[in-house]
Amino acid sequence: TSEFHNLQELRHSASLETKVFIQRDYTEGTVCRFQTKFPSELDNRIERTLLEETVKTLNSYYVEAEKIGGQSYLEGCLACATAYIIFLCMETRYEKVLRKISGYIQEQNEKIYAPRGLLLTDPIERGMRVLEISIFEDQGSGTSSPSSSSMSSTGSAR
Amino acid sequence: MPGFSSGGVGGGVGGPASTPPRPFRPSRYTSSYGNNTVCHHFVVPSFFILSRCPWLSEYFSSVIPIYNAVIFLFTLANFCMATFMDPGVFPRAEEDEDKEDDFRAPLHKTVEIKGIQVRMKWCSTCRFYRPPRCSHCSVCDNCVEDFDHHCPWVNNCIGRRNYRYFFLFLLSLTTHIMDVFGFGLVYVLHHRQQLDTPHAAVTMAVMCVAGLFFIPVAGLTGFHIVLVARGRTTNEQVTGKFRGGVNPFTNGCLRNITHVLCSSQAPRYMGRWRRPLSVEVQPPFLRPPLTEAQLEAKVLDNGIQNDQHSTRSKSSLDQMESQSADAEPPPPPKPELHYPSLPRADTEESSLLTEAPPTPSMYKYRPAFNSPGRNHPAFTTPNKVHVNLHLQRWPWRPWWACWGGVKGHVRLLPDWALLHLLPIPSGGSHSSSMRSAHTAHNPLATLHSEGTTDTSYKSLANQTPRNGSLSYDSLLTPSESPEFESVVSPSTPLQGYTSPFLSAQIAQQREGQLLQGSATFSSPHRAYLHAVSPPPPSSCGPLETHLLQHNQDSSSRAPRNPFTSHSSPGAQIFCCLCSFVVLFEIELTPFLLCPPLPNGYPIRSTSRPVLANHTTSKPGGGVKKVTGVGGTTYEISV
């Protein structure tokens, strides 16, 4: 009898297992801030310090975006003076920072999270209410996901 | 359109005798829906302002017409921004986010903001806990960030993103009216001997109209100046959220003002272009080394995961319940578990439901948000997962999609007052019931207090008159009205809607129909339907009948509404212009005349000046105090 291996079993694959949501931290009002509390689902997936670092950086970006200072004031005055037509051509301060955040999240995903089977989703896509972290599971390591079980069953049925 | 035409004429009445006098057209100064001369109200004033005030420019200075033009344009620009800008609509939450907040989650989540407990309520339409200061607008059917109010005259909500423009619009309009009146007065005083000329007569008429509209406009402007200084929204002021207590959202007067006027334009959440994120998630995955504590926990746990869902503010009972359930993947929720009317009296659910005020929530079922969920092909391809979040447009709701939800647009003046004050929390009848069927210590208090608050909302819904006119009652429960209209009779195909007023039998029937008829319902949503079970049958009979009758009336009257979503965008632009025309007298006067009474007393037209006073309720007049969880006190004036 020859051993028959399912090629798909040999190739490791990943599937989305679950999502973790880091909620907003409202202790200082409605300014955009995310909780730095470490969700327990990620206990064995990523080091605490890495995630906390990411969240803290994101929070600092949001503080910068919402800062009320000279630039935002001038922007407002210019917009008033041009009857808000300037909004068609100019990017507001907030939008600029959001672009930076988007770039930062992509970089973090590539360097830190994807190698660990995680994926960050930009909070702006969820209305800045939650920071969504998708957890992927390695199907080759055997989980309860249906596709892996069906594959392993076909493999073991030989 | 009084304001602008008066501005134009006020600036233009100084014309020399050589210019032919413009015929006096009363229609210019009357406001009525579908006024065909509305288009003139933009052209004529600008023409007057820009080219027909030679007298004033000769007599005083040539800056005057320029100043008038600038003010006029500023007012117009702010009005347009307030009308057409997304107020800060939250996109609907995706299914996966809702998974944690399943049917056993409490209706409220409490957060502490600067030491003050603030409750976040679950929005059943949008499927998330509403952030603080967010409210669901039933007209637009969206949750809006920093919700101020829904303005029926621009048919748009005023929220975080466009409040500044609304506020500036009020300020500039007040200034504009004052200018018109002032310059008109100057002209009349200088032509005292020629008061019989048409110019002078027109000027005097315009001054009268301007003076008349100045009162409500200035009143509303003053009201909003106070709100801005205090750091409150209209919604919070009108519902008396911080009447006795401290407002956690204020940072001091100066900072509040700078926050409104000087902060950067907030981003919109809807209709965003996502740039393609292409990240490969390929095993093998790195794993962090386990700490000693984790190893020990693993050994003790014997592999059973802790209950992860108890990290948020859930009751201890929830924890107990969910721990056992979390040992395995959560099974599809069984409908019978959450049906108190069925003979399973041992459950906490049924006992609590019979004890607590029978106010199950009324919600609108929404099909699952069209998102790449678990079964998305991108995620389950048996290859390395190439998560390609390709260029994808968010569900974009154009501004005209929000229109048409205004019911009773052609109504009597007092009713419009009520519509203007739609910021009354739309979820009034939601909050009384638990999302889950069972509750525990803290949520029970919530339920009880919410019951008293929202029993009033529920009773309002019962009193909704059947003749189709919108009283304050129905407007206090605006979230119910669209739902009323969506249900015609039990025999029609279901749209996934369950009324709390139906008896258990009919609800069971519906459930059966739901299970058959709708393949798109996913199990969590079904559980959600069942979790919000109807009240005990004894209290349902008359309500149910009334509801069905009202539904039929509502559905029959819906097509007659000229401003439903079936109207074309062109007509709606026209309506926008009309609303601009009638902005002052309609929006502002009713606001003054008709104070909000959130206890559901129907508002009839009164002449009570309420602008300055409606924030303070007379304690002697009967104030019902309701204390919620965490000490938030709501005072409802009777």
Q: Which two tokens stand for residue A113?
A: 């999270």
- CA–CA dist A13, A16 (Å, integer): 10
According to the model, what pLDDT value does residue B155 have? Answer: 84
pLDDT at B254 exceeding the cut of 60: yes
pLDDT at B522 exceeding the cut of 60: no
- CA–CA dist A117, A45 (Å, integer): 8
Comparing B209 with B482, the larger pLDDT belongs to B209
| Domain range enclosing A103 | 8-35+47-135
Neighbour count for residue B302 (Cβ, 10 Å): 6
Nearest chain A CA: its distance from B52 CA (Å): 23
Neighbour count for residue B383 (Cβ, 10 Å): 12
Q: Name the residue of chain B whose CA is nearest to A45's CA.
A: B287
Share of chain B above pLDDT 90, in %: 21
- CA–CA dist B153, B134 (Å, integer): 21
pLDDT at B285 exceeding the cut of 90: no
Cβ-nearest to A68 among B165, B249, B262:
B262
DSSP for B236-254? HHHHTTTSSS--TT---HH
Say if residue B455 is exposed, middle or buried (CB neighbours under 10 Å; 0-12, 13-18, 19+): middle
Terminal alpha carbon distance of chain A: 10
List pLDDT tens digits, range A30-45. Answer: 999 999 999 988 888 8
Q: Which two tokens stand for residue B425?
A: 């929390």
pLDDT band at B211 (very low <50, low <70, confident <90, very high): very high
pLDDT at A130 exceeding the cut of 80: yes
Interface contact flag, B285 A115, Cβ < 8 Å = yes
pLDDT at B320 exceeding the cut of 50: no
Q: Which of A6, A9, A15 to mutate to test the interface with B (most CBs of B within 10 A)?
A: A15
pLDDT band at B341 (very low <50, low <70, confident <90, very high): very low
* Three-class DSSP category at B226: helix
pLDDT at B137 exceeding the cut of 90: yes
pLDDT at B6 exceeding the cut of 70: no
Nearest chain B CA: its distance from A138 CA (Å): 6
pLDDT at B495 exceeding the cut of 60: no
Taking one residue from A and the other from B, the number of pairs with CB-CB distance under 8 angstroms is: 177
Nearest chain B CA: its distance from A1 CA (Å): 28
Say if residue B387 is exposed, middle or buried (CB neighbours under 10 Å; 0-12, 13-18, 19+): buried
pLDDT at B83 exceeding the cut of 60: yes
According to the model, what pLDDT value does residue B462 have? Answer: 39
Chain A residues lying within 8 Å of B96, measured CB to CB = 19, 132
Q: Residue A54: CB partners within 8 Å, gap ≥ 6? A: A108, A112, A120
Nearest chain B CA: its distance from A22 CA (Å): 11
Number of domains in chain A: 1
Neighbour count for residue A44 (Cβ, 10 Å): 12
According to the model, what pLDDT value does residue B325 have? Answer: 40
DSSP state of A123: G
- CA–CA dist B134, B131 (Å, integer): 5
Using alpha carbons, select from B43, B69, B41 the residue that is nearest to residue B56. B69
According to the model, what pLDDT value does residue B573 have? Answer: 64
**Quick one: CA torsion of B119, B121, B127, B130, rounded to 10 degrees?**
-50
Q: Residue B2: CB partners within 8 Å, gap ≥ 6? A: B29, B31, B206, B209, B210, B212, B213, B584, B585
Chain A residues lying within 8 Å of B80, measured CB to CB = 84
- Contact indicator for B514, B526 with CB cutoff of 8 Å: yes
Residue A108 maps to a domain = yes
Comparing B31 with B248, the larger pLDDT belongs to B248
Cβ-nearest to A119 among B73, B97, B279:
B279
* Three-class DSSP category at A129: coil
What would the mean pLDDT of B22-51 be, rounded to a whole number? 36
Q: Which two tokens stand for residue B200?
A: 């002078």
Chain A residues lying within 8 Å of B74, measured CB to CB = 80, 83
Q: What are phi and psi of B64, to 5 degrees?
A: -60, -50
- CA–CA dist B611, B386 (Å, integer): 59
Active-site residue list of B: 151
Share of chain B above pLDDT 70, in %: 37
Interface contact flag, A115 B249, Cβ < 8 Å = no
pLDDT at B183 exceeding the cut of 70: yes
According to the model, what pLDDT value does residue B94 have? Answer: 86
ipTM (interface pTM): 0.83
What would the mean pLDDT of B111-116 be, rounded to a whole number? 91
Interface contact flag, B281 A102, Cβ < 8 Å = no
According to the model, what pLDDT value does residue A146 have? Answer: 44
pLDDT at B173 exceeding the cut of 60: yes
Q: Residue B597: CB partners within 8 Å, gap ≥ 6? A: B472, B603, B637
Write down the mean pLDDT value for chain B: 60
Using alpha carbons, select from B584, B606, B635 the residue that is nearest to residue B75. B584
According to the model, what pLDDT value does residue A133 have? Answer: 93
Q: Which of A51-55, A72-76, B60-64 has the lowest mean pLDDT?
A: B60-64
Chain B residues lying within 8 Å of A94, measured CB to CB = 264-267
Chain B residues lying within 8 Å of A27, measured CB to CB = 111-114
Residue A1 maps to a domain = no
Interface contact flag, A12 B283, Cβ < 8 Å = yes
Comparing B126 with B522, the larger pLDDT belongs to B126
Cβ-nearest to A27 among B76, B113, B258:
B113
Residue A157 maps to a domain = no
